[in-house]
Amino acid sequence: MRRRFDTATLAVALPFLAFVGLFLFVPTIGLAIKALTPGGSFGFTSLQRALEGSYRTAFVNSIALAVTSAVIGGVIGLLLALSLRSMQRPRWLRSTTDSWSAVASQLGGIPLAFAFIAAIGTQGIITKMLGLVGVDITESGFSLSEFWGLVVVYLYFQIPLMFLVMMPAVGGLRQTWAEAASIMGASPSRYWRSVGLPLLLPSFLGGLLLLFVNSFAAYATAYVLNPGAQIVPLLVRFLLQGNVITGEQDLAYAIILWTITLLLASLLFIAVLQRRTARWSST
């Protein structure tokens, strides 16, 4: 029976593995070969140039945008999960928050960008309403096409994604642990410092890395709000469209390879943190 189960599992997994290999591993290997053989000979020239000048600026901007939106969204998402952990009333609040998070965490791209333009853009509804009471967000320097404008838009899908990531971890905190700490004379703050937060830390760090990857790879939303933004996804689009000088294709491959390497490193850290979280949550 075990042999039949293993055979059936392998038969089901083979199409998926073939799909992943054909559309992920094979292109990545080909990309790495082209990036490491500029001009037909092995070398790291293209990889070095991809981290210089304006290309390095694009990486710095993308990392800053991803880290900022991940930290802010992660903290708010964690606080939201903690606040709803033991809330019983109103009963509709928990289910509504779960439903909204499931939808909002996957909402992005062009629809999200246009929604924010219609809401808090230069001629947005909320912008006009605030103008009626003497508040002009445009004159204050806020713009959806600038750094903090992109952060605000990204938070719309970063916060619910972190909420979904942290809810299982927060739900795994047993009430008996808090009761045991109280019996031993520990205050609520001491319990959270010594028990609660250390147990949530692996999930929280994994969530931050997931938000980082999610934000770093976001393309369509940033393109609609600011097509000229110096961030890696838009730079990759520029290069993939063939808008490069003759002989500069190797540089495009190198930039994409650096991006893949950064995202893969983040995903590996996420996997390690998830295994650590599963270890204590199963005990």
**123 φ/ψ angles, rounded to the nearest 5 degrees:** -110, 25
Q: In which residue are the tokens 């103008």 written?
A: 131
For the chain, the structural domain boundaries read 45-51+61-108+152-281
Q: 222: closest CA among 231, 209, 214?
A: 231
**248 φ/ψ angles, rounded to the nearest 5 degrees:** -100, 10
CA distance 142 to 148: 7
CA distance 208 to 72: 10
Q: In which residue are the tokens 């990531």 written?
A: 165
CA distance 274 to 206: 7
The DSSP line for 125-179 is HHHHHHHHTT--TTTTT--TTSHHHHHHHHHHHHHHHHHHHHHHHHHTS-HHHHH
CA distance 32 to 50: 14
Superfamily per CATH, domain 45-51+61-108+152-281? MetI-like (1.10.3720.10)
Give the pLDDT of the chain (283 residues) as one tens digit per residue.
555 556 777 777 888 888 878 888 888 888 888 888 877 778 888 888 888 888 899 999 999 999 999 999 999 999 988 888 766 667 777 778 878 888 888 877 888 889 999 988 888 898 888 888 888 887 777 888 889 999 999 999 999 999 998 888 888 777 777 778 788 877 777 878 777 788 888 888 888 988 998 899 888 899 999 888 889 888 878 777 765 554 567 777 888 888 888 888 888 887 777 776 666 555 5
Q: 68: closest CA among 211, 270, 226?
A: 211
pLDDT for the residue numbered 68: 96
pLDDT for the residue numbered 88: 63
SS3 string, 175-208, reads HHHHHHHHHCCCCHHHHHHHHHHHHHHHHHHHHH
